[in-house]
Structure 1
Amino acid sequence: MPFRIGYRTLKTAIGAGVAVAIAQMLNLDFYGSAAILTLLCISTTKRDSVKASWYRIAACLIGLVVSSIVFSFIGYAPWALAVVLVLFIPLAVMWKVEEGIVTSAVIILHMYTAQEVTVSLIINELLLIIIGVGVALIMNAYMPSSERKLRHYHKEIETHFKKIFFELAVYLRYGESDWDGKEIYETDELLKAGQNEALVNIHNHFLRYEDRYYYYFKMREKQFELLERLMPYISSIDQTYEQNVVLADFLEELGAAISPANQVPYFLDRLEDIKKGFQKTDLPKTREEFEIRASLFYIMNELAEYLHIKDRLWNELDKKKL
């Protein structure tokens, strides 16, 4: 992997330096610990950063109280430090702030190193916590926009869907295809990456818990699962009949029209017309033709569900006004 300095790395490094500079400017003892707090509180999203900051502040305060009480009553021997940790760690777990245990250990060791509990020492530690966490929150206040990545995944997924529909139509029309199927694997990876990026985008907004992109990727995921179910049925049809060609034309039209726009009513009507046309044709004359006709009806029913998935998404979006 080539050497690369990422945005988060740069932000973390600058934040650590700023935290130490502020702590030194205020003549605080153990000023390097401000950088440690900043390093631990900078996260990949704004929401995660706030959570991490809360866990570490709460855990540090618990550690400060426990160490002050224990050291004041039983002294500053190594076994006293062990007692502090024996009491502190279960308390942190009980209060569900165990993520801050490591950070709090730094504060506890400061108390042990100082060999005394004084008001000035407690103020020193509180200021270190405020500076370290505060700088981290400020550095995380700006996050690069995910819009470009989300648009990229959106476009690539639609391109892959179109290719899949085209290849399925080819197989229905000719009973064979030289398609290597690589778009199947690639689409699965794109859907996972798109959903992850959409979640990051959501977590970078404090008052947003869902958005259109996340809904879109979830919709495509469900539709993709349905297409995967269809493939064995389509690949089992190795004879060409008039009905195959009609459904192949429909698949090509459906694939060409893939877009965020809601064209579901039109395609549901088209599908219903095709079903009615099939019902008017002569009954199958052979077992093989009967099995193919049954597969075609199954495929049409699944395609109707494919369209309903999108229709339900649009209804949800309209209700939520996303």
Structure 2
Amino acid sequence: MKIGLRTIKTAAGAAIAILIAEQFHLSYAVSAGIITILSVQNTKKKSITLAGQRILSTALALGIATILFNILGFNPIAFGLYLLIFIPLAVEFSITDGIVVSSVLVTHLLIEKSTSLQWIFNSFGLMLIGLTIAILANLYMPSSEKKVHELQTNIESTMKLVLLDLSGTLRNGGLSQLQNSYLEKLTQELDEAVLLARNQYNNQLFGQSYYYIKYFDMRQMQAHVLRQIKEDLGQCQLPTLENEKLAGMLIQTAEKLHEDNPANELMQEIQNLFDHFRNSELPKTRAEFENRAMLFKMLNDFMHFIEIKQVFYQEFSPKKEKVI
């Protein structure tokens, strides 16, 4: 049985919150521990955002409950009416994460049959202690930078394999059985990397950068283009000079695939190949025409593949904003 870091922080935080609430002689001290349990999140930003929402929801809930209990009395009907008013307002103000916790605090007023300042302060005290301990517990988040770099390396390696396999299909004909497995692996690695990069970004309160989020987004867009090229390969089976040239360009791209490559040379090679298409002899048969048309489409797709990288490089690489 494996016990994760979040579980350890939650358990320790709940116990500490209860002890602190007891030291301040707050009633229902165990509620502070429950609030901590519900407030420990996966990222620092989410914990802080959640804390703000729950403080606002508590103020709103206690205000509504105080008015209704004083008018209708401390009974189930008043509590039900409180929920009818509070829940829609919480949705309207985007503080729904605080509905359950705030309502639990309202039940303390119902049980004690009092809305005195003592019980209002008691409720706010429980909420503040629980939230504070949760935020303090989340201040320690192990860095994922090493894993991010590892995934980056793996993604570039897998993308090279895809490019090389596509070039082999262009040269030799016949769809490779490895293409699907390579593309599936690439998709899985990219999904994991995007999630990890976003969590890492949300765990940094200062010195933040979107670099790795944008980097993996860029690779996801390129992966989509590669999937499209792979689909078109089935209609491009004639062994022509143009096939060979495009295959050679895919190999060249695989060899130079790296985050710091501005891809200007590759774009020039694509323009040269377009010129070759325009100046070469027209196809003589229907099969040659269809092959040439599909090659032209694939070349346009591949140009888009390179343009995606160029846009990313122009926006981020010169700045080298890689702090995460």
Give the alignment's TM-score, normalised by structure 2.
Answer: 0.90
Amino acid in structure 2 at the alignment position of 1:18: I
Cα deviation digits, residues 80-110 of structure 1 (max 9, x gap): 3223333333333333322211001111111
For the structure 1 residues 240 and 129, does the alpha-carbon distance in structure 2 shift closer, same or farther, using more than 3 Å as the test?
A: same
* Equivalence for 1:222: 221
Consecutive unaligned residues of structure 2, counting only runs of 5 or more, are none
Amino acid in structure 1 at the alignment position of 2:210: D
Per-residue deviation at 1:7? 1.3
Q: Secondary structure at the match of 1:259?
A: coil
Deviates more, 1:266-275 or 1:278-287: 278-287
* Equivalence for 2:315: 316
* Equivalence for 2:273: 274
* Equivalence for 1:54: 52
Amino acid in structure 2 at the alignment position of 1:219: M
Cα deviation digits, residues 247-275 of structure 1 (max 9, x gap): 21221111121111224111112223334
For the structure 1 residues 122 and 243, does the alpha-carbon distance in structure 2 shift closer, same or farther, using more than 3 Å as the test?
A: closer
For the structure 1 residues 80 and 285, does the alpha-carbon distance in structure 2 shift closer, same or farther, using more than 3 Å as the test?
A: closer
Matches of 2:149 and 2:210, distance apart in 1: 13
Amino acid in structure 2 at the alignment position of 1:296: L
* Equivalence for 2:254: 255
For the structure 1 residues 216 and 237, does the alpha-carbon distance in structure 2 shift closer, same or farther, using more than 3 Å as the test?
A: same
Matches of 2:62 and 2:30, distance apart in 1: 18
Per-residue deviation at 1:31? 0.2
Q: Report if aligned partners of 1:170, 1:176 keep a CA contact under 8 Å in 2.
A: no
Equivalent residue for 1:179, pick from 158, 177, 180: 177
Q: Report if aligned partners of 1:171, 1:235 keep a CA contact under 8 Å in 2.
A: no
Amino acid in structure 2 at the alignment position of 1:112: L
Amino acid in structure 1 at the alignment position of 2:142: P
For the structure 1 residues 129 and 237, does the alpha-carbon distance in structure 2 shift closer, same or farther, using more than 3 Å as the test?
A: same
Deviates more, 1:26-35 or 1:268-277: 268-277
Cα deviation digits, residues 207-265 of structure 1 (max 9, x gap): 57751111111111111111112123322222222332222122111112111122411
For the structure 1 residues 171 and 27, does the alpha-carbon distance in structure 2 shift closer, same or farther, using more than 3 Å as the test?
A: same
Equivalent residue for 1:79, pick from 73, 77, 80: 77
Matches of 1:251 and 1:96, distance apart in 2: 49
Identity %: 30
Equivalent residue for 2:40, pick from 34, 39, 42: 42
Per-residue deviation at 1:163? 0.8
For the structure 1 residues 165 and 91, does the alpha-carbon distance in structure 2 shift closer, same or farther, using more than 3 Å as the test?
A: closer
Q: Report if aligned partners of 2:175, 2:234 keep a CA contact under 8 Å in 1.
A: no
Matches of 1:282 and 1:35, distance apart in 2: 78
Q: Secondary structure at the match of 1:160?
A: helix
1:1-322 paired onto structure 2 within 5 Å = 3-180=1-178, 181-206=180-205, 211-317=210-316, 322=321
Per-residue deviation at 1:309? 1.0
Amino acid in structure 1 at the alignment position of 2:15: G
Matches of 2:233 and 2:315, distance apart in 1: 31
Per-residue deviation at 1:14? 1.0
Matches of 2:225 and 2:274, distance apart in 1: 19
Deviates more, 1:167-176 or 1:87-96: 87-96
Deviates more, 1:65-74 or 1:145-154: 65-74
Query: Between Structure 1 and Structure 2, how many residues are aligned?
Result: 320
Amino acid in structure 1 at the alignment position of 2:233: I
For the structure 1 residues 116 and 227, does the alpha-carbon distance in structure 2 shift closer, same or farther, using more than 3 Å as the test?
A: same
Consecutive unaligned residues of structure 1, counting only runs of 5 or more, are none
Matches of 1:57 and 1:311, distance apart in 2: 45
Q: Report if aligned partners of 1:170, 1:177 keep a CA contact under 8 Å in 2.
A: no
